Chains A and B, each alone.
Chain A
Amino acid sequence: MTEPVPEIIIEAGRTEVQYWRDLWRYRELFYFLAWRDVLVRYKQMVIGIAWALLRPFLTMLVFTVVFGRLANLPSEGDAPYPILVFSAMLPWQFFANALTECSNSLITNANLLSKVYFPRLVVPTSAVIVSFVDFLISGILLLGLMIWFNAVPTWRILMLPLVIAISFAAAMGMGLWLAALNVQYRDFRYIVPFIVQFGLYISPVGFSSTIVPENWRLLYSLNPMVGVIDGFRWAIIGGDVQLFWPGFLLSLLLVMLVLVTGIRYFRHMERSFADII
């Protein structure tokens, strides 16, 4: 093991150069922090993993009854309403959980931040990874639903990883903004639950975004989760589900914008984390 002796220069505003190299050097820490959170979460629970299944399943039931039966809203294509709801429930729950965990991650790991050096991006990213584990678990439920309803996916299911990546980027981008703001202004602790609750209503989770009037759809797509959810439905349900491309691309653009600015803001604030946390 002969590694060249690295030289580190510490100077005001100089961390940038070494930062991305360090991020790579600490890559195992992503895994370990996520692993810790998953392990701790399931350690003291009786039904453990079942929680990750039960919550989206029950929400899906309620939404199917309220929107599908009582309000009698139309589904997309010929998809059964539960599948319509669940294919949106998956990315939404992932986004909501990731956002909540991510925005609190720096505060809950305050002790780490003030005592050890590592690229701070590791902490919020691990928080998103933990939510991603839940996402994968509830994905099993979708599989079960599709078997139950005999829904056969088309080639579009192959695009699913891409849409998942977009939802990951959306959660990450927003999460980084909120995590950094949360360190400086603790008020954001109260704002995040509100965003999550509010977002559930303004995102097409319980209903199809096709019921939004045509000339309002572009405006509706300003909510990045609209594009993400539409993308999920498009990939999962297949058949004659049409993707509203202008809206999808607008959402995609916004997600990228939030992610890039999120990383930059986080990097900018990161220097002072240890001093103010």
Chain B
Amino acid sequence: MPDTVIQVENLGKMYTIGHQQKGSYRYTALRDVLADGAGAFLRKLRRPGKSFTPFNREEFWALKDLSFEIKQGEMVGIIGRNGAGKSTLLKILSRITEPTTGRVRLKGRVASLLEVGTGFHPELTGRENIFLNGAILGMRRAEINHKFDEIVDFAEVSKFLDTPVKRYSSGMYVRLAFSVAAHLDPEILIIDEVLAVGDIQFQKKCLKKLESIEDSHRTIVFVSHNMSTIKGLCSRALLIKDGEIVKDDMPETVATHYLADAQEQQAMIDFKDSYTAAEISFLKAYLCDKENNLSSSFDNRDAFAIHLEYKLHKEIRGLRIGFLMETIEGIQVCGATDFVFTDSTRKPGIYKSKCLFPAHILNSGKYTILFGADKFPYTQSLMRTEHCLTFEIEDIDRERPLYDRRPGIIKPTLTWQVVRPYPKNQ
């Protein structure tokens, strides 16, 4: 019977939201506090006896009364929409922020990986950054020295060890950063959506590394939007919705439950204020058919277009707007960005990135899309939505005489030739 290594009891986290603080103005200016204080004081003078709160504040519970246990060697996936409280939970587990109520017991050394390459400095060389990043993640110098060669080998950057990382390609950068983290040796590892970056080859390698970590009886808590990763890696999944656990079961069951919510087809979404950050806000996203009408079901023989409107608050260097398409079962179909080149900049203003998706690619079925944005050096995303658009591909032109769905995700138009290669022999 394995030990309980993570025990969470009645965990809650409350944030107070000041109503005047919106968008990028998250910090308070002393001036405002003084002005508000003085204003409240004056009002109090005019109407004594009645108390005024200086701020128009609202309480917001990001996590409400969460309780669960994780046993040693378990690999638990956490699923939930943006704002469901996943990140808050991870931040509490990794001790970045304190809970408001409840308690957590952790047995063993904890390492958390909420972002790839935290603390990397562009001016420093690869070698120097390995030591710096390792120290930040909690490794001892002796430990880093011991694993140095292994880290370098894994990241495949041995030739560029003494080059400042600002000259690295974004792939190399991510590989190096992940490699340091992958060589942490904690009993409990907490990972946020970090596998979303990097190329497929390397992602696979990282997943393998993570699986080998599981073999050695480490406990891993893992957040991902990618259902197939969760299904492939985890032995258990938690679904969090509005700060509460609504499902705690096998990954398949939980994933189906989660995706059932997104089952409705949606051709357009107005993001309102839900995806607003200091540099960029997503405004709305929609799908159009070849006649440019909003639609959520397309003929396999026609192209369609994916539109995303967004607003830049600042000039951004090397901005990439992209989408990720998955089947409703959570298998990744493709992802693409409007990347131009690293040094391109986009000035503040409202933009639309439109992607024409060609005909004769997708097989019939239901698909979902999520959007994201990042900027140079592409190690963390500026913005990432949940699965927000859902559409259906209809395959009218199924080959006769069997009106069967062809297997697989893609249905390309292929050219067949039937010939007799050895006509003389037979």
Contacts and interface: CB of A to CB of B under 8 A. Distances in A.
B141 interface: yes
A10 B88 CA distance: 14
Interface stretch (A11-19, A143-151, A217-225, A237-245): A11-19
A276 interface: yes
A247 to B, nearest CB: 32
Interface residues of A, number: 42
Contact of A115 (B93, B100, B115): B115
Given A117-B112, A186-B27, A40 B121 contact: yes
A11 B99 contact: yes
A10 B28 CA distance: 28
Interface in A229-273: 271
Contacts of B106: 7-10
B96 A117 contact: yes
B208 interface: no
A250 B421 CA distance: 103
A185 B132 contact: no
A5 B105 CA distance: 13
A107 to B, nearest CB: 9
Interface in B99-120: 99-110, 112, 114-115, 118-119
Contacts of A73: none
A9 B104 CA distance: 6
B393 interface: no
B30 A274 contact: no
Interface string A179-202: 000011111100000000000000
B112 A7 contact: no
Contact of A111 (B31, B97, B118, B141): B118
B136 A274 contact: no
B142 to A, nearest CB: 9
Given A5-B108, A185-B29, A185-B30, A10 B121 contact: no
A186 to B, nearest CB: 5
A30 to B, nearest CB: 10
Contacts of B29: 185-187
Nearest to B100: A12
Contacts of B31: 187
Interface string B130-158: 01100111101100000000000000000
A118 interface: yes
A26 interface: yes
A113 B140 CA distance: 19
Given A115-B115, A117-B112, A185-B30, A10 B92 contact: yes
B33 interface: yes
Contacts of B375: none
Contacts of A187: 29-31
B123 A118 contact: no
**Chain B interface size range:** 35 or more
Contacts of A113: 96
B15 interface: yes
Contacts of A184: 27-28
A271 B30 CA distance: 20
Contacts of B100: 12
B187 interface: yes
A59 interface: no
A222 B28 CA distance: 31
A43 B156 CA distance: 25
Contact of A7 (B27, B28, B107, B140): B107
Nearest to A40: B123
A112 to B, nearest CB: 5
Contacts of B26: 276
Give the interface centre of A9, A28, A39, A117 by most chain B CB atoms within 10 Å: A117
A44 interface: yes
A156 interface: no
Interface in A20-44: 25-26, 28-29, 32-33, 35-36, 39-40, 43-44
A5 B186 CA distance: 11
Nearest to B105: A9
B96 A116 contact: yes
Given A36-B121, A115-B96, A117-B95, A8 B110 contact: yes
B87 to A, nearest CB: 10
Contacts of A40: 121, 123-124
A115 to B, nearest CB: 5
A150 B119 CA distance: 47
Contacts of A111: 115, 118-119
B115 A275 contact: no
A112 B123 contact: no
Among B26, B31, B98, residue most surrounded by chain A Cβ atoms (within 10 Å) = B98
B98 A32 contact: no
Given A28-B140, A116-B136, A185-B33, A10 B103 contact: yes
B135 A32 contact: yes
A213 interface: no
B127 to A, nearest CB: 11
B91 interface: yes
Interface string A110-131: 0111111110000000000000
21 contacts: A6-B107, A8-B104, A8-B107, A8-B110, A10-B92, A10-B98, A10-B99, A13-B98, A15-B95, A26-B138, A36-B128, A43-B123, A111-B119, A112-B136, A116-B119, A116-B136, A117-B96, A185-B29, A186-B28, A187-B31, A275-B15
Given A8-B104, A15-B95, A276-B26, 14 more contacts: A5-B187, A10-B106, A11-B102, A11-B104, A12-B101, A14-B103, A29-B135, A39-B124, A112-B119, A115-B96, A116-B136, A185-B30, A186-B27, A271-B98
Interface of A: 5-15, 25-26, 28-29, 32-33, 35-36, 39-40, 43-44, 111-118, 183-188, 271, 274-277
Q: Which 4 A-B pairs have the closest CB atoms?
A: A185-B30, A32-B135, A10-B104, A117-B95
